[in-house]
Amino acid sequence: MRNVFLLASQSRWLREHARRYGFMRRTVARFMPGETADEALAAAGELQRQNIGSVLTHLGENITDPDEAEQVTQHYLGVLGRVRAMALPTEVSVKPTQLGLDLSVELCYSNLLRIIECAREQTGSNVVWIDMEASSYTDATLDLYRRARGRYPNVGVCLQAYLRRTAGDLNSLLPLGPAIRLVKGAYKEPPARAFQLKREVDENFFVLSQRMLNDDAQRLGIRAAIATHDAALIRRIVAFAESRGRSRNDYEFQMLYGIQSAEQLRLAREDFHSIVLIAYGHYWFPWFMRRIAERPANAWLALRNILE
């Protein structure tokens, strides 16, 4: 079933037609406050009132028109200005292929720097997160991050625990004092590149989290963003962090909007840094299919809406 949803995420026909169906829109509404920046910012404001931070991501990927990449860049610049005006504890997360990576590495890098520079001017130290896409983009994405980190401190990158290479990538980044968002990963990858079993991915996620919370990584200045909805895994990570003398200011938990909301609130109330990633935009179908693929409970929600 996971493979079915991942294949569906790659279908252009489904992407173009899914928005026409009410049951699809009802289902995705559980995980998105809406398709517009206004709705995303309103959701960020509501989270702020609960002492929960946020990261905004405007959905889209694999742009092949430089004018469209420019429009995306301008969109993020405008959002950052509104974040400052609203005094929100909000960051942004961008996909390299949405900034033109498929067209030109230099075009993508130029657009990325403009967003990072704007975030630095508008919101101070707020990080611009670089999303990780399919494994064919991993090297290019890490190169973008290393170049940008050499110029600005307010940039972070996502690493995927299901890739076999990630332990080596993490070790190579630590000397930079990086901001790392660790996720499990949600693209279809062959066994040679990625762990296929959930228990293998979960265990590698825990091992990588330990590495991010160890004394040497902390001394190097890592910002450790642990992105999981797995309550049992969260408890293991907290227990390890406490055994190493980490304070609750030394790491954070990030989750998706609409998933495990009670756990997000619990963490905030217990003085952990609780952050929610808010996705928005018209290009939600591939993103949503990957969310279903990585969490079977989401598929049952979709099925209930179909039956209704």
Catalytic positions: 131, 181
Helix (H) / strand (E) containing 240 = helix 231-243
Q: How many CA atoms are closer than 13 Å to the CA of 149, on its beta-carbon side? A: 20
Select from 246, 158, 191 the least CA-distant residue to 3: 191
Which regions of the chain does DSSP assign to beta strands (E)?
Answer: 53-58, 90-94, 128-130, 155-160, 179-183, 223-227, 251-256, 273-280
Cα first-last separation, the chain: 22
Residue that the structure tokens 């961008």 belong to: 94
State how beta strands 128-130 and 155-160 pair.
parallel
Rg of the Cα atoms in the chain: 18
